[in-house]
Amino acid sequence: MAVDYTYIAGRLNAMESELPERSWYERLARSETGSLLQSAREYFPGFEEIDSIYRFAEALEMEKLNFLELLSGILRDEEVVRFLRAEYDFDNLILYWKGEFLDSEVAEDRYARCGLTSEEIISEAVRNGSGVYLPVYLKDSFDHLLSVTDRSGLDAAQLMLERSKYDYLLEASPSDFARHYTRMRIDTHNIRNFIRTKRTGLLDQEQERWIPGGFIDILTLRALFHEPEDELYSYLSYSRYSRLIDGGLDSSTPLWKVEPALSWEIYYYLAGRRHSFFDITPVIFHLENMNRSYSALRSIITGVINRLPEEIIMEILDGVIPS
């Protein structure tokens, strides 16, 4: 029997109405560093937990955690909750494993609190070389990590875990829409990686970095990567991602603008289906919308702290929250 998401969507719509409008972000971008913390507290309670704006990463993580905890409480569906939150466990596993492998401390602000597996369980598993207490979806990945014996295997192991994460999300998708959304995420991940590595030349031809499972198949990506970068945009112009090209994505687009463009592509797709009340669609839309708010806040605070010119901060804001 289908779950009625009417109440959930209504609750999330009410929360969305309380988010700041673009004009607020513009005022924040014109603020001095000393007033950022107080301004952020107007709309984002997580900033009440910090005493310095330089700890803003912690506040944003708390904001995201609180939102996901709220979703977990009102959804009451373990499968849906795992779909929304288990990916952070994969991220934390590779973070702690790399720290242990390289004999370095894991920075506290890099740990993603939004997962379902506690920091203690993951760190203990890595430290003791035993995944007995890890959730089932992490065990195979953990066993593979234990087989890595030298630094040359670090990149391959990280890629393996990234692939495992998306394999899990595809398998755990609670609806056709959620699976479609996940496949779009895989495509945007691959497009971003394609552009970055094409321009920097950092791709090891012996170690492919494409994530399988998207709408754009791996063979196409392999073939396109051996051609000039413009061939990617030509291909995209005739694909389901033609909107990216209509929006101006091309070989002259700065790397920092690529991520917002890809994020906007997913957001546009979700926004057109946000009022479906009998599947997970409104939940995914609001989660993506909240993430965009966090990205805007992060970009502005970073820009102001680093004394970037106002026009550059505004240009970054345009990429995250268009006017």
Residue 169 resides in a domain? yes
- pLDDT tens track for 250-309: 999 988 889 888 988 998 888 887 777 777 888 899 898 888 899 999 999 999 999 988
Residues of the chain with pLDDT under 70: 1-4, 106-109, 202-207, 322-323
Calculate the alpha carbon distances from 39 to 101, 230, 276 in Å. Answer: 41, 43, 34
Tell me, what's the pLDDT at 4?
Answer: 66
**How many domains, in total, are found in the chain?**
1
Tell me, what's the pLDDT at 204?
Answer: 56
Tell me, what's the pLDDT at 3?
Answer: 59
Residue 153 resides in a domain? yes
Residue 54 resides in a domain? no
Residue 115 resides in a domain? yes
Residue 154 resides in a domain? yes
Tell me, what's the pLDDT at 1?
Answer: 40
Tell me, what's the pLDDT at 200?
Answer: 84
Residue 94 resides in a domain? yes
Q: What angle do CA 226, 184, 143 make, to 5 degrees?
A: 80
Rounded CA-CA distance 122/115 in Å is: 11
Residue 202 resides in a domain? no
Calculate the alpha carbon distances from 246 to 43, 216, 239, 242 in Å. Answer: 34, 19, 12, 6
Residues in the chain: 323
Residues 174-205: b if buried by 16+ CB within 10 A, e if exposed:
bbebbbebbbbbbbbbbbbbbbeebeeeebee
Rounded CA-CA distance 273/276 in Å is: 6
Domain that includes residue 92, residue range: 85-173
Written as six digits, the tokens of 186 are 């895989």
Tell me, what's the pLDDT at 100?
Answer: 82
Residue 242 resides in a domain? no
